[in-house]
Amino acid sequence: MLNNEFPPLGGGTGTVNRAILARLAAVPGLEIDLVTAALGRRAEREHFAGRVCVYKVPVNNQNIHHSSNRELLTYAARALPAALRLHRAAPYDLVFAWSAVPAGGVALALRRLAGLPYILRVCGPDIPGFERRYGALYPLLTPTIKAIWRGASRLVAKCQGEADMMLAVKPGLRIDLVPNGVELEAFPAAPIADGGPLRLICVARLIERKGQHHLIEAVRRLATEGLDVQLELVGEGDARQANEDLARRLGVAERVVFVGYVPREQIAAHYAAAHVFVLPSYNEGMSVATLEAMAAGLPSVVTRTGGAGDLVAEGVTGNIIPWGDAQALADHLRPFAHDRALARRMGEQARARAHGFSWETAAERYLAMFAELAPIARDAQPQGQRL
């Protein structure tokens, strides 16, 4: 497996990688090496579980929440020789890349140098047009991204919206859909009390694409109406200072709490203390945070992006609004301030809907792909299939 991020480094892709890896570690006859990036300047090797090892190549990482272009290139340059050394020592059957850039580039090189087939799970920002801050880079990267897509034995997207964006770039692709999952038992249902301020939570990187600046403006509008509202922003990113400055300028600094990074084992408590989950993002593949909020029994107000319609049932478990519309955010949050029973009803429906998204189901889909590309005998020995 190839992934430049893995917890505590990175965001949603690393979180999904870890969840799937935990399920695959229990599969007999399957041996997995994950080549990822180290937090420090030294190479590391860790035992994850079962027959799963994690190899970390140093990239001189400066920010655990977001990789710079230099760090992405450094990962590719160091992951390729590391993977080749491991392959020579004990040959692999196939490669699983968790993004086109940079992991998919390494996978394509391994196919050409060692003849290894690869599965590519597309990460949203890999898709040209997905993220506005990469607008100047996409014309340069698109030919390479297309070549990486073409070289994959199987292409995986998280939802149809993500697949449609890929098809708009390169028609005719065969794309398998494997939705994200959630560990329901890890998220106790939020009680959503009647009293006190309306407590909003947004769990996302603090980057322009996630739209927290629109949510802060919506909080100002609700406060201007005399509503008592509090917003908790969980996450880090390069837009934090700009968002803090915005909250001060709008006079709502005391209503907006910047929590920063929260370890995975502590995140459930933050959902449980909230009343409504909000994700005003410009684009998403399939938001892990939204799934977690659903599991925690919170109604969701999210923007119309990839996967939103798969997760949020309009008017039943929450609402889907246009990107960049602070007034629409305020309008759809206002009813929860007046009617906590509405929040509880929608939250209950959201938790029930979360039952349909399972990491076990996702892992089974990937195992079927592994079997198709590198079949395992029924009586496979522990040294059987290697990724």
pLDDT per residue as tens digits for the range 201-213? 999 999 999 999 9
Partners of 118 in beta bridges: 95
338 Cβ neighbours under 8 A, 6+ residues apart:
none
Enter the pTM of the model.
Answer: 0.89
For residue 221 the two structure tokens come to: 């509008």
Cα separation of 235 and 238, whole Å? 10
Domains defined along the chain, listed by start: 12-181+358-386 (3.40.50.2000), 184-354 (3.40.50.2000)
- The stretches in the chain having pLDDT less than 70 are 375-385
Three-state secondary structure along 301-355? EEECCCCHHHHCCECCCEEEECCCCHHHHHHHHHHHHHCHHHHHHHHHHHHHHHC
Token pair 């995975």 in the structure block, residue: 264
pLDDT per residue as tens digits for the range 148-182 = 999 999 999 999 999 999 999 999 999 999 999 99
Query: Which pLDDT value is given to residue 128?
Result: 93
Cα separation of 81 and 116, whole Å? 14
Query: Which pLDDT value is given to residue 380?
Result: 36
Query: Which pLDDT value is given to residue 79?
Result: 98
Query: Which pLDDT value is given to residue 384?
Result: 58
Tell me what percent of the chain is helix, strand and coil, each rounded to the nearest 5.
45, 15, 35
- Going from the C-alpha of 372 to that of each of 118, 136, 216, 359, 369, the distances in angstroms are 12, 38, 48, 20, 5
- Going from the C-alpha of 96 to that of each of 110, 134, 182, 259, 355, the distances in angstroms are 11, 25, 21, 34, 27
* Residue at 303: amino acid letter: T
- Going from the C-alpha of 312 to that of each of 69, 111, 287, 350, the distances in angstroms are 34, 39, 11, 8
Contact, 43 vs 58, CB < 8 A? yes
Contact, 38 vs 26, CB < 8 A? no
For residue 342 the two structure tokens come to: 């509405």
Q: How many CA atoms lie within 13 A of 293 on its CB side?
A: 30
